[in-house]
Structure 1
Amino acid sequence: MNLPRGPVMVDIAGLTLSEQERARLSHPLVGGIILFRRNFQNIEQLRALTAEIRALRAPHLLIAVDHEGGRVQRFLDGFTRLPPMNVLGEAWDADRDQALTLAETVGYVLAAELSACGIDLSFTPVLDLDWERCAVIGNRAFHRDPEAVAELAEALQQGLGRGGMMSCGKHYPGHGYVEGDSHHLMPQDDRSLAQIERDDLVPFARLAEAGMGAVMPAHVLYPAVDGQPAGFSKVWLTDILRGKLDFDGVIFSDALDMAGAAGAGTYVQRADAALAAGCDMVLVCNQPEEADTMLAALVPPAQPKLAERLERMAAKSAAADWQRQIATPDFAAAQAVVRQLAMPKDALTGPQVGEAH
């Protein structure tokens, strides 16, 4: 079925597609699907699932996953265990050049393995600074120093590209300074725009200049800048991200089922607000009935650049090509490096970031 990608990303319940899910994924407003741990049994099953999804329509639906490393790695059995990003930050403190090489290698292994399974993108890297205030970010962040985060993330982005994948920086303009978890409440960051620009925005600006493919804004309120949370704020998305930072990639909303999004109203109202503020695609996860209601009622704004932006995020090579790639000596050497990265005792500890972002 030939059908342009729409501005909504949805999820599925299990290891295969139900008829109801096939119908939902064929809706004209749907443009992507996000997979979670519940959708993964083993590599063979995952490849079969992504092949089934890709066969539904052309161009194929974007297939995404949260696969950062550490405690946010959805696929485990048969995949290389990836370190939390603070391991690369610790390596930076010891030897900057070696850390950049390691970051590029981690990005390559991450992307090559996902690409070999038919996945288009992982929502990574985390560009938040580790202010040691936000437990839900914690060791997912590279470092406290904006320069270290920017350089390590850019190196990881280069590795993602070598593995056939674009990057998605999150959680714009920075979730690391707040103590609250936007999965459960609406965090508030009271700093001025000048303070945020001096620190937290640095990695986003650097990666935007270096060709970052996408951005995911935070469900965080910055009242000194705007009265709307970043993911629903035209100031943050249109004026600053598109305007000042000159970013022309995809803006994905964070999941609309999160508590930090609830203040925008019903799911239809949340989607309307996010798209009106400047998001290209909204994520509706874990709420299939709400997704169906939203798809029936949503009238998205004109999005003349949507098709072009989403196409940039799509994998450029077939999964079979990457399956051959990960059988090469070059990949084996990179995989060995990643496996040898020191895993701190707390690598998998901290609040689990379950079926969200």
Structure 2
Amino acid sequence: MIEDLVDRTLLVGFEEPDPPDWFRRAAPGLGGVVLYGQNLRVDTDAARLAALLHQDSDVVLAVDEEGGDVTRVHYRNGSPVPGNYVLGAADDEGLTGAVATRIGSGLRAAGIGWNLAPDVDVNSAPENPVIGVRSFGADPDLVSRHAATWVLAMENTGVAACAKHFPGHGDTRSDSHYGLPVVDCDEAEWRRVHLPPFVAAIEVGVRSVMTAHVVVPALDDRPATMSPKLLTDVLRGELGYQGVIVTDALDMGAIKDGVGLGPGAVAALRAGADALCLGAIGGEGLYQEVRTAVLAAVDDGTLPLRRLEEAAERVEALLAWVRKAPDPGDLSDGTDPGLEAARRAARVFGDPLLTGPPVVVELRATPNLAVGEAYWDLAGPLTERGVPPHEVLRLTDNSELSAVLTAAQGRPLVVVGRDVPRHPWQQKAWHVLSGQRPDAVLVEIGLPRPDVTAHGQRVFVGGAGRPNLQVAAELLTGAGHRP
């Protein structure tokens, strides 16, 4: 039935902690079930949901588990491994492979077979609001090497990997969750900078490639997700890629607020995409809207039936690989490669050593939707090292800076921010606080940009995962290695 073919192309989510009835009915025929942060209240929820869904079928579960800032399984207490920036900065492919292996082994043990990672974008725009520390770096060769290593290690655990976001989201200055970014580079620059990591991932056999909701005018005036030139001519034809092409979530603003969810889904399939990813919020409505639109397009000839069949066949081949992949067992060697990488990647300016329990000020901006409200915390690691904060204050604007200075009188002051240079209010907060307290320490957990935050005592740890914050605590308490 055509309905079965359509369902096979859909990766569907739900927003409840437990799968609702409509979802459990649909799941056996779907291309995959995508778990999001709101589904996972504790680390063991992924395994619990997998067991629950596998009572009805052998449906494959997918998740965004990049490590570091983007984590779903560890959404409530932080990733136990750092993200790509740290791995690129450490530039040790052995550590990169070991971290990917740890992620993959954990997913496999939890019953998850498809990881919508790694991010292989070259972050050539430091002010990029959605990639940043999710990228291995700004050098195409470095990103390519680590992308290939990460993919191989992930798939050696029996979990399918996904190179994203084709044709490259690293040179954008807006967020595709809210609008349609434009990548302003010529074709020669795109081929030199942004294409190589995808080539590297394809060469080592990556099972899926995710599209970006971006426009590269030098290549096509349509969003890449809906571009036959990019998906069929370049990805399939020029690069010879035969795996699954999966869209980024179609309910993101770049598509939903542009051409619309249903038309965007049809256009993506026509362009050469095989799997249509949908978000969690309003999951049933998203599923029904896309399903109805695709069925109507086949019925009226807008979408050739053979293209739908081809897409479903490719998805089925990936699912068959996941189901048959042997379990390699425990691949860990007892070390903590993520912590080692985080220590190597950290950068220190000035003297951040604390002289006693500090007042910790957290600068909390609204995170991008890829990260969500994923947990991060410095107070816990400081406490574990015997220096519990005297007080932790959270700021979302600059209205309480005087109160912060009063609270910190006579005590060390630590300011924690994520991507401080990208948030004017955070820049001002650091300027005011460090101006009044030259001994204050900035702990930057976003993309390190010491040329922008160019004064005071500073610790750059390149991410919000648990190892990143542990390294920050080590450096503040004098027990860490000074890079």
Q: Same fold (TM over 0.5)?
A: yes
Aligned to 1:95: none
Per-residue displacement from partner, 1:182-202 (whole Å, max 9, x unpaired)? Answer: 111111112222220111001
Deviation for aligned residue 1:102: 0.5
Pair 1:34 & 2:34 matched: yes
Amino acid in structure 1 at the alignment position of 2:177 = H
Deviation for aligned residue 1:226: 0.9
SS at structure 2 position matched to 1:182:
coil
Amino acid in structure 2 at the alignment position of 1:287 = G
Of 242, 245, 254, the match for 1:248 = 242
SS at structure 2 position matched to 1:226:
coil
SS at structure 2 position matched to 1:331:
coil
Contact 1:107–1:156 (Cα < 8 Å) also in 2: yes
Aligned to 2:119: 126
Of 227, 235, 239, the match for 2:229 = 235
Aligned to 2:310: 304
Q: Distance in 2 between matches of 1:145 and 1:32?
A: 33
Q: Distance in 1 between matches of 2:41 and 2:347?
A: 26
Amino acid in structure 1 at the alignment position of 2:334 = A
Of 278, 282, 305, the match for 1:287 = 282
> Which moves more between the two structures, 60-69 or 100-109?
60-69
Pair 1:151 & 2:160 matched: no
SS at structure 2 position matched to 1:159:
helix
State how 1:184-199 maps to structure 2 within 5 Å: 184-199=178-193
Deviation for aligned residue 1:133: 3.4
SS at structure 2 position matched to 1:86:
helix
Aligned to 1:96: none
What runs of 5+ residues in structure 2 fail to find an aligned partner?
299-304, 349-362, 373-483
Deviation for aligned residue 1:44: 4.0
Amino acid in structure 1 at the alignment position of 2:367 = Q
Query: Residues 200, 297 of structure 1: CA spacing in aligned structure 2 closer, same or farther, 3 A cutoff?
Result: closer
- TM-score by length of structure 2 reads 0.64
Deviation for aligned residue 1:338: 2.4
- TM-score by length of structure 1 reads 0.86
Query: Residues 264, 275 of structure 1: CA spacing in aligned structure 2 closer, same or farther, 3 A cutoff?
Result: farther
What runs of 5+ residues in structure 1 fail to find an aligned partner?
93-98
Higher relative contact order (CA 8 A, sep 6+): 1
Pair 1:165 & 2:159 matched: yes
Q: Distance in 2 between matches of 1:118 and 1:349?
A: 34
SS at structure 1 position matched to 2:291:
helix
Aligned length: 337
Query: Residues 351, 333 of structure 1: CA spacing in aligned structure 2 closer, same or farther, 3 A cutoff?
Result: farther
Amino acid in structure 1 at the alignment position of 2:63 = V
Contact 2:70–2:370 (Cα < 8 Å) also in 1: no
SS at structure 2 position matched to 1:68:
coil
SS at structure 1 position matched to 2:18:
coil
Query: Residues 350, 124 of structure 1: CA spacing in aligned structure 2 closer, same or farther, 3 A cutoff?
Result: farther
Aligned to 2:467: none
State how 1:1-357 maps to structure 2 within 5 Å: 6-26=8-28, 28=29, 30-57=30-57, 60-76=58-74, 81-92=80-91, 99-131=92-124, 132-262=126-256, 265-285=259-279, 286-288=281-283, 289-299=285-295, 301-302=305-306, 303-304=309-310, 306-313=312-319, 314-316=321-323, 325-326=329-330, 330-334=331-335, 336-342=336-342, 344=346, 352-354=367-369
Contact 1:215–1:249 (Cα < 8 Å) also in 2: yes
Rg larger in 1 or in 2? 2
Counting aligned pairs with the same residue, the percent is 28
RMSD, aligned CA:
2.7
Amino acid in structure 2 at the alignment position of 1:295 = R
Contact 1:251–1:279 (Cα < 8 Å) also in 2: yes
